[in-house]
Amino acid sequence: MRILLPIAGISVHLWTVVGIGGIIGLLSGLLGIGGGFLLTPILMMIGVPPTIAAASGTNAIVATSSSGVAAHFRLNNVDFKMGAILLLGGLAGSGIGVHLVHILRQLGSADLAISLTYIVMLGLVGGLIIRDSWRKLRSGLVARPKRYEEEKSSVLSRLPLQMEFPHSGVRHSIFLPFVLCLLVGVLTAIMGVAGGFVLMPMMVYMLRMPAHVAVGTSLFQALFTCAGATVMQAGSNHIVDLVLALLVAIGSTIGAQIGARMSRYLRGEQLMILLGFLALGVMFKMVADLVVTPVVPISQIARIDFLKPLQHVAAGLFFFFGR
Amino acid sequence: MEVTSIPKCRARAGRRERWAVLALLMAGAFTAGAAPLRIAPGAASLPPAQMPTPRLVPEMIAMGTFYDGAHVRIEGTAPAMSGVVVTIEGTERDEIFDRKGRVGPIWLTVDKIHVQSAPSVFLRFSSAALGSLLDREEVQKYQLDEAAIVCRCRILCHCKCDSMDRMKMSGVDDTVPDSLYAAVLISDFLKLKEHDGRYEEHPGSVHIAAANAGTNYALEFEWPKNIAPGRYRVTVYACRDRRVVAQSATLLHVEEVGFPEYMAKMASAKPWEYGAVAVLVSVLAGFLTDLITSSLRRRRKPETKRA
């Protein structure tokens, strides 16, 4: 059965789009990543114009994330306090990143630098996650976050504005998650993807959050980021196709539920290994894009000002913290 | 780099070679002056006669919620002993593209291309191969193939904007490429349009039959599902002695109706409200799915306990 997408103005197979959503949702619920990096190119493959695919994908991720957040909230896997700080840091970082991209493009050869940075980073993150989690699995150690007492000796514990995050079982200075997420925000703005790949390992390895709580909190952050981006894209560019987003959302919300349930039967290390393999898969895809001769050397620009509207929020944050 | 790639293209594929050569000719034409070369149809000393307006069935393609393409029939009468060419063209628009190029062993985005006044769609149907119906000059004059269509477009390089909106706002002037580079860009542009199914040529698809008043022609085809709503110009050319002897044109309307029309109007008339509704509906859809699955799970649990 085919259905017309009102904004894209094209007819697509209903079950194909729902199926695509299902796969994205499964990954989202299981691993805490938004899935935008996969969704946009797949929608483009079925004929959706690039900008509409990107903006409507963002809208679909709102549904996926909200379904995932609800499921993880029920499982007590969402640290709202940490999520709010990560959200603020990410927004500020996005604003800085957009300016940085502008400067890099003016300098020239920015694309090569961005592509290589992305490949090296995905390779490193994926490789290290797999190695570390595999070792833990083989030695039979259960991932356990350090408690407050263990953290006391750390240099980081001497930073100002220490705060307890009982849900995650950690204690950090408010600046640590904020600055880390600010860096992730800068990276996501440069690379043009939402950044679940970077955010998830960062929460587990640097903020020492349990993997399951990291998944729920990452989805909480993605929900707000994507909701803001959807309103901005619909308001300023008129490129959000709600029918497309809802079709993807039908599949992805169900997929997210299945993913969240599946995550209960997997150990934290197993989840991280899956994430690592996914990161390596994306890295190989990027390498192939760079090396393999394209069928047609020109393509319509798929980039949308995903993070540009967030600059206003970032400017507000700078004003707030600068005072 | 772009200059040396033309001979390579020729060596690789005959199809690409054809485009490169044609595009080179076109590029030479429009880079000769500051303005793109525009050849007005019917500007010759002997203008073609008007023939009866073609009949379209349906006259309007209605795109409802479950739109699954449409079967279109175009028919009419042409002067006696003539071949027929039918073209369907979408409105002209500006587009921006990324262009990849080889830098050492890897492919990178090396340029941003701005194509002005390119028809969004160009479909051509004919009763025989175009070369057997018309001289090349006539094809050029009436813009009856893709290479000729590009003649009226303007291709610019080193575009500095990511989106058309920003380009219009900033009024950035792009660079006019040299003739060799322009030829490569035109060739790439046509290949992309062919790949997307927006530029197509179907020789031998128009059926003709001799009749008392002239030649009856009929064309039936499936309207592509990936073509957006709009007004499409249908032009019929009658060809005899390798020149166009008569022509006629009409409009084919492709419009959204019902729910898709309502959504499209809302998205353009009240964009911020539409965005807020989109988020709200998505959040509700997410929570609703969670509610349904969790209630289903709760129902199953007591059953398993009893068992």
Q: Among candidates A142, A185, A176, A139, which has minimal Cα distance to A157?
A: A176
Residues 6+ apart with CB under 8 A from B164: B94, B95, B96
Does B190 map to a domain? no
The whole-angstrom separation of Cα B220 and Cα B223 is: 9
Mean pLDDT of B127-141: 91
Ranked by mean pLDDT, the top range of A256-270, B26-40, B117-131 is B117-131
Which pLDDT belongs to residue A32?
Answer: 65
Does B18 map to a domain? no
Q: If you average pLDDT over every residue of chain A, what do you get?
A: 75
Pick the range with the lowest mean pLDDT from A240-244, A299-303, B167-171, B291-295. Answer: B167-171
With an 8 Å Cβ cutoff, is B89 touching chain A? no
- Residues constituting chain A: 323
H or E segment and range at residue A102 = helix A80-107
H or E segment and range at residue B6 = helix B5-12
The whole-angstrom separation of Cα B19 and Cα B146 is: 9
Between B247 and A224, residue with greater pLDDT: B247
Longest dimension (CA), chain B: 94
Strand partners, B156: B114
With an 8 Å Cβ cutoff, is B98 touching chain A? yes
Put simply, the answer to whether B271 touches A64 (Cβ < 8 Å) is: no
Ranked by mean pLDDT, the top range of A88-97, A306-315, B104-113 is B104-113
Mean pLDDT of B18-45: 42
With an 8 Å Cβ cutoff, is B132 touching chain A? no
Between B58 and B173, residue with greater pLDDT: B58
Tell me, yes or no, whether B62 and B169 share the same domain.
yes
Number of structural domains (chain B) is 2
Between A112 and A289, residue with greater pLDDT: A289
Q: Chain A closest CA to B51's CA: distance in Å?
A: 33
Q: In 3-state terms, what secondary structure has residue A236?
A: helix
Spell out which residues of chain B touch residue A291, defining contact as CB-CB under 8 Å: 105-107
Q: What is the DSSP string of B10-25?
A: HHH-HHHHHHHHHHHH
- Reported as a pLDDT band with limits 50, 70 and 90, residue A316 is very low
Place of tokens 């009240």: B270
With an 8 Å Cβ cutoff, is B1 touching chain A? no
Does B103 map to a domain? yes
Which pLDDT belongs to residue B4?
Answer: 37
Mean pLDDT of B119-146: 90
- Reported as a pLDDT band with limits 50, 70 and 90, residue A81 is confident
What confidence tens digit (pLDDT) does each residue in A182-200 have? 877 776 666 655 566 677 7
Q: Which of B158, B255, B279, B281 is the best mutation test for A, with the most CBs of A within 10 A?
A: B279
The whole-angstrom separation of Cα A268 and Cα B123 is: 56
Residues 6+ apart with CB under 8 A from B12: none
Spell out which residues of chain A touch residue B65, defining contact as CB-CB under 8 Å: 3-4
Tell me, yes or no, whether B206 and B276 share the same domain.
no
* Alpha carbon separation from A181 to A83, A87, A90, A98, B88 (Å, rounded): 10, 8, 5, 15, 52
Put simply, the answer to whether B228 touches A232 (Cβ < 8 Å) is: no
What confidence tens digit (pLDDT) does each residue in B181-227 have? 888 888 888 888 888 888 999 999 999 988 777 888 999 999 988 88
Tell me, yes or no, whether B153 and B239 share the same domain.
yes
The whole-angstrom separation of Cα B67 and Cα B1 is: 45
Put simply, the answer to whether A290 touches B99 (Cβ < 8 Å) is: no
| Sheet strands side by side (includes B55-57) | B55-57, B70-78, B214-223, B207-211
Pairing of strands B60-63, B230-240: unpaired
Total Cβ atoms within 10 A of residue B196: 17
Q: Chain B closest CA to A221's CA: distance in Å?
A: 14
Between A52 and A99, residue with greater pLDDT: A52
What confidence tens digit (pLDDT) does each residue in B216-265 have? 899 999 998 888 889 999 999 999 989 999 999 999 999 999 999 999 99
Pairing of strands A10-13, B207-211: unpaired
Does B186 map to a domain? no
Strand partners, B233: B89, B251
Complex confidence, ipTM: 0.74
Tell me, yes or no, whether B245 and B274 share the same domain.
no
- Extract the tokens encoding B49: 């006669």
Between B184 and B49, residue with greater pLDDT: B184
The whole-angstrom separation of Cα A14 and Cα A239 is: 20
Chain B residue at shortest CA distance from A3:
B66
Kindly state the percentage of chain A with pLDDT values over 90: 6
Tell me, yes or no, whether B293 and B209 share the same domain.
no
H or E segment and range at residue B83 = strand B83-89
Q: Is the confidence at residue B27, as pLDDT, over 70?
A: no
Tell me, yes or no, whether B168 and B276 share the same domain.
no
Does B88 map to a domain? yes
Tell me, yes or no, whether B201 and B133 share the same domain.
yes
Q: Is the confidence at residue A241, as pLDDT, over 50?
A: yes
- Extract the tokens encoding A252: 């992805």
Tell me, yes or no, whether B228 and B280 share the same domain.
no
Chain A residue at shortest CA distance from B107:
A290
| Partner residue opposite A301 with nearest CB, options B96, B165, B229 | B96
Chain A residue at shortest CA distance from B5:
A297
Tell me, yes or no, whether B140 and B288 share the same domain.
no
- Radius of gyration of chain B measured on its C-alpha atoms: 25
Which pLDDT belongs to residue A107?
Answer: 64
Tell me, yes or no, whether B60 and B164 share the same domain.
yes
The whole-angstrom separation of Cα A167 and Cα A75 is: 12
Chain A residue at shortest CA distance from B114:
A300
Which pLDDT belongs to residue A301?
Answer: 62
**Please, what is the end-to-end C-alpha distance for chain B in angstroms?**
74
**Please, what is the end-to-end C-alpha distance for chain A in angstroms?**
57
| Partner residue opposite B267 with nearest CB, options A63, A234, A246 | A234
Q: Chain A closest CA to B252's CA: distance in Å?
A: 16
With an 8 Å Cβ cutoff, is B253 touching chain A? no
Range of the domain at B227: 45-176+197-256
Tell me, yes or no, whether B137 and B98 share the same domain.
yes
Put simply, the answer to whether A9 touches B256 (Cβ < 8 Å) is: yes
Q: In 3-state terms, what secondary structure has residue A71?
A: helix
Does B34 map to a domain? no
With an 8 Å Cβ cutoff, is B169 touching chain A? no
Strand partners, A91: none
| Partner residue opposite A112 with nearest CB, options B108, B225, B294 | B108
- Reported as a pLDDT band with limits 50, 70 and 90, residue A206 is confident
| C-alpha angle A13-A18-A23 in degrees, rounded to nearest 5 | 130
- Reported as a pLDDT band with limits 50, 70 and 90, residue B129 is very high
CB pairs under 8 A between A and B: 198
Contact B177, B157 (CB under 8 A): yes
Q: Among candidates B38, B37, B5, B1, which has minimal Cα distance to B20?
A: B5
- Residues constituting chain B: 307
Kindly state the percentage of chain A with pLDDT values over 70: 76
Q: Which of A4, A48, A98 is the best mutation test for B, with the most CBs of B within 10 A?
A: A4
Mean pLDDT of B42-58: 71
Q: If you average pLDDT over every residue of chain B, what do you get?
A: 78
Tell me, yes or no, whether B143 and B85 share the same domain.
yes
Pairing of strands A2-5, A10-13: antiparallel
